[in-house]
Amino acid sequence: MDKAVAMRARLVEQVRQMLQRAGMYAVHDQDFEFLCWMRLGDLRFLDDLPEPTRDELGLSDKHGPCGIPGPFREAFGKEHRYYSEVASVYAEIFHRYGYLTPDRLVPDEEWPGLLAAADSAYRDADTRLSDVVEALGPPSFKIGRYLLCYGPENGTGWVFFDGFTYHPDEHGAPQEVFTGYPADPILRSVRLPGPDFEAGLRLTPLGAALHRSQAASVF
C-alpha cells in the first residue's frame, strides 16, 4: 500500500478515536481544539487540498476569538473543561469534509420533528441522556458518556445534547466534593444550528441553574 494512502487511513481512524475520548489526547480543551485543527490540515494536505481557515470552518462567527471553549466558559463556568464540546463541533466538521462516518444520519422526514423537540422539549424538567435516545433514536455520533450528536441526511447543521459530567445537588449546582461521574448524565443544554452560539443554545433547568451560578460569580 502507498505510504500516503496508509497514513490517510491511519489518521481517519484516529479521528474517530480522539473525538470519542477527547480528554485523553490533550491536557487542555483549547489544546484539543488545536489538535483537531492540525489533524484536519494534515488530512487535507494528504488529499492535496487547501487547509481551511477558522473563518471557512465557521468557528470565528459562532465561537468568537477565544476558541470553541470560550462561550462554554462564559455560560457554565471557567472551572470546567470542555473537551467533549470541542469534539462535538469538530465531529460535524470532520463529517462535512469526509473524514468521519457517523453511525447513522437522521432521515429527512424525521429531522423537522427532532429539531422541534430539541428546541423546546427539554426546558421544563430534568432529562437524562438515555431519555433523549429513547425519544429521538440512536445518535449519529456519541462522545464519551456525556454528549450526543445528531446529524441529518440533508447535510444541514447538527444538533448536540450536552450532558453534565458531575452529579448536581438539588439546586442544580456542582457538588463541593466530587463523588464520581454519573452513568447516565443529566442533560445540561441543547445546541441547535444557528448563526452564533447564543442563538442556538437551549438550556435545561440544570443548565439554567449552572448559568445563573456562573453569572452570579462574575459580580
Does position 170 have pLDDT exceeding 60, yes or no?
no
As a whole number, mean pLDDT of residues 8-20 equals 94
Q: Report how far apart, in Å, the C-alpha atoms of 202 and of each of 1, 20, 100, 152, 171 are.
A: 48, 23, 26, 19, 19
What is the pLDDT confidence band of residue 45, given thresholds at 50, 70 and 90? very high
Give tens-digit pLDDT for 83-136: 999 999 999 999 999 999 999 999 999 999 999 999 999 998 889 999 999 999
φ and ψ at 188, to 5 degrees? -95, -40
Please, is 63 exposed, middle or buried when counting C-beta atoms within 10 Å of its C-beta (0-12, 13-18, 19+)? Answer: buried
- Mean pLDDT value across the chain: 88
- CB atoms closer than 10 angstroms to residue 194: 12
Higher pLDDT, residue 2 or 180: 2
Q: How much of the chain exceeds pLDDT 70, in percent? A: 90
C-alpha–C-alpha distance, residues 205 and 127, integer Å: 9
pLDDT at residue number 203: 95
Counting beta carbons within 10 angstroms of the beta carbon of residue 77, is it exposed (0 to 12), middle (13 to 18) or buried (19 or more)?
A: middle
13 three-state secondary structure:
helix
Over residues 32-51, mean pLDDT: 94
Which pLDDT score, from 0 to 100, does residue 167 have? 60
